[in-house]
């Protein structure tokens, strides 16, 4: 029996990168005669959530935790920390690949947008270089155009006097562009610009999206923007199966007693946090709407991404709610501190809407379960996702901030009511029910994403 091809998968830090890459590995090894090893950078003992993900994988997917990167820059933005960790893990990645080469038929290295410095290492071992792009086709299209944008302008993008058009999608104000390009003098920008220049040197790019969701963007990417680089739509890759957690039964039992499609899930993902003022405005807006809600609440912070590396809050988040809020909303709302099983919640028939930060994993989970959204972006590429969802593909309602960047209670009240009972909410809900079916079809045996996986497998077996 011939030895199966083996691939190394290198996610950058953050559960939002590990989970879709692990799901990709699962689909590839289950449907094709291929095995894999996930190489995971660390900054200390792996968190329980990471361990749970890798230990739940099939036996032909192994994992390696790299030696921890020490002396992290204090107070740095998440994207700076990620670049630092990946850069300082390069030697360990080289050692891991050397070890895998001696034990397996290693044919390819798959990395995400923070790991492209490993391309030279992969070439040393004569490996194929694949980019796993955990964002959408719109963000990839923007990444292809970044080199040209950089050459055409010298100011910070937030100061541009004209909109930035993304081929195959919508236009963005410079301040709406993703976080890695907001500071042109820092290392993250230089690294992301280098990724833009390297895109045409890759053996393939896998995008966690699907043809039916971003048909025009994929068409434009393949018709010239990407050059000869194969672009594979392989999504929607979201975590399946039950999650662990003490709050699981409480949330789901409470949802069991609510009418179908009546509850708004309010969650800002594994990393998002709000200021104290914004927590209070959100609480008052939910109360004024008289709609049912399930709110996953973190302790407030001045930084919107304060929980990126730690999903739990240090203090009891419930202490920061307005006086009497819990008592006044007890019959129609449930507030869960820090964490809840989002997948099971979104799949529950009582859920009628999702107020979301528009992280791409959460957005895909909402699409897969047919849940209409309110777009409330915070950081990373979320502002781009929000604009795409509200303007390009029409799957979410927009939310407006005031001149101080705060979403006021009257705005929250209005948009929550519209999502659950208004004409716009009903129209978006109908569209999402159609896309839910399309997403399932994409991952079925004859579907577009499964066809892409087959093409990747063919490349790996050459």
Distance, in Å, from the CA atom of 325 to the CA atom of 276, rounded to the nearest integer, reads 14
Q: Using the 8-state DSSP alphabet, how is residue 116 labeled?
A: G
Encoding tokens for residue 223?
Answer: 């018709």
Report all structural domains of the chain as residue ranges with CATH numbers, in order of start: 5-235+443-461 (3.40.50.2000), 248-439 (3.40.50.2000)
What number of other Cβ atoms are within 10 A of residue 412's Cβ?
25
Q: Rounded to two decimals, what is the model's pTM?
A: 0.95
One DSSP character per residue, 316-360 reads -GGGGSPTTHHHHTTTTEEEEES---HHHHHTSTTEEEEEE---H
Distance, in Å, from the CA atom of 157 to the CA atom of 174, rounded to the nearest integer, reads 5
**Closest to 66 in 3D by CA, of 45, 49, 52, 84:** 45
Residue length, the chain?
A: 462
**Could you identify the residue written with the tokens 């093409």?**
455
What number of other Cβ atoms are within 10 A of residue 73's Cβ?
10
Give catalytic residue positions.
Answer: 17, 112
Distance, in Å, from the CA atom of 378 to the CA atom of 274, rounded to the nearest integer, reads 9
Distance, in Å, from the CA atom of 236 to the CA atom of 210, rounded to the nearest integer, reads 6
Separation of first and last alpha carbons in the chain: 17
Please give the distance of CA 205 from its chain centroid, rounded to a whole number: 17
Put residue 438 in one of left, alpha, beta given phi > 0 → left and psi -120 to 50 → alpha. Answer: alpha
**pLDDT tens, N- to C-terminus, the chain (462 residues):** 678 999 999 999 988 899 999 999 999 999 998 999 999 999 999 999 899 999 999 999 999 999 999 999 998 888 899 999 999 999 999 999 999 999 999 999 999 999 999 999 999 999 999 999 999 999 999 999 999 999 999 999 999 999 999 999 999 999 999 999 999 999 999 999 999 999 999 999 999 999 999 999 999 999 977 678 999 999 999 987 655 444 457 899 999 999 999 999 999 987 788 999 999 999 999 999 999 999 999 999 877 665 555 544 457 899 999 999 999 999 999 999 988 899 999 999 999 999 999 999 999 999 999 999 999 999 999 999 999 999 999 999 999 999 999 999 999 999 999 999 999 999 999 999 999 999 999 999 999 999 999 999 999 998
Q: Rounded to a whole number, what is the largest CA-CA distance in the chain?
A: 69
Q: How far is CA 200 from CA 96, 152, 166, 186, 221, in A?
A: 26, 20, 18, 24, 12
Please give the distance of CA 412 from its chain centroid, rounded to a whole number: 24
């Amino acid at each position: 029996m011939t030895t199966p091809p083996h691939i190394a998968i290198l996610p950058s830090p953050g559960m939002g990168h590990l989970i879709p890459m692990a799901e990709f590995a699962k689909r590839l090894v289950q449907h094709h005669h291929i095995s894999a090893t996930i190489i995971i950078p660390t900054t200390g003992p792996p968190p329980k959530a990471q361990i749970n993900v890798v230990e739940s994988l099939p036996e032909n997917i192994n994992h390696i935790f790299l030696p921890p990167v020490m002396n992290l820059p204090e107070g740095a933005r998440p994207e700076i920390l990620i670049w630092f960790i990946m850069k300082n893990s390069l030697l360990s990645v080289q050692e891991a690949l050397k070890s895998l080469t001696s034990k397996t038929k290693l044919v390819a290295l798959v990395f995400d947008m923070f790991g492209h410095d490993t391309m030279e290492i992969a070439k040393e071992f004569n490996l194929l270089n694949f980019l796993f792009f955990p964002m959408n086709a719109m963000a990839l299209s923007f990444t292809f155009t970044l080199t040209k944008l950089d050459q055409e302008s010298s100011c910070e993008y937030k100061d541009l006097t004209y909109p930035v058009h993304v081929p195959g999608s919508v236009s963005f104000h410079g301040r709406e562009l993703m976080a890695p390009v907001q500071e042109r003098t820092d290392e993250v920008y230089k690294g992301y610009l280098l990724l833009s220049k390297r895109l045409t040197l890759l053996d393939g790019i896998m995008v966690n999206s699907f043809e039916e969701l971003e048909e025009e963007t994929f068409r434009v990417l393949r018709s010239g923007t990407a050059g000869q680089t194969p672009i594979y739509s392989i999504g929607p890759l979201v975590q399946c199966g039950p999650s662990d957690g003490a709050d699981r039964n409480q949330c789901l039992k409470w949802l069991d007693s609510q009418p179908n499609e009546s509850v708004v899930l309010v969650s800002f993902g594994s990393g998002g946090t709000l200021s104290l003022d914004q927590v209070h405005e959100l609480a008052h807006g939910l109360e004024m709407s008289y709609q049912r809600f399930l709110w996953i609440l973190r302790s407030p912070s001045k930084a919107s991404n304060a929980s990126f590396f730690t999903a739990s809050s240090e203090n009891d988040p419930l202490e920061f709610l307005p006086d009497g809020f819990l008592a006044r909303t007890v019959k129609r709302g449930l507030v869960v501190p820090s964490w809840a099983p989002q997948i099971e919640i979104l799949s529950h028939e009582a859920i009628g809407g999702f107020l979301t930060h528009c992280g791409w994993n959460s957005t895909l989970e909402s699409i897969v379960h047919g849940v209409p959204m309110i777009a409330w972006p915070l950081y990373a590429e979320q502002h781009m996702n929000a604009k795409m969802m509200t303007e390009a593909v029409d799957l979410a309602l927009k939310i407006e901030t005031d001149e101080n960047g705060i979403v006021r209670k009257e705005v929250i009240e209005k948009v929550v009511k519209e999502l659950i009972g208004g004409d716009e909410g009903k129209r978006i809900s109908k569209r999402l029910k159609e896309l839910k079916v399309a997403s399932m079809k994409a991952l079925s045996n004859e579907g577009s994403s499964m066809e892409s996986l087959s093409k990747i497998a063919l490349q790996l077996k050459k």
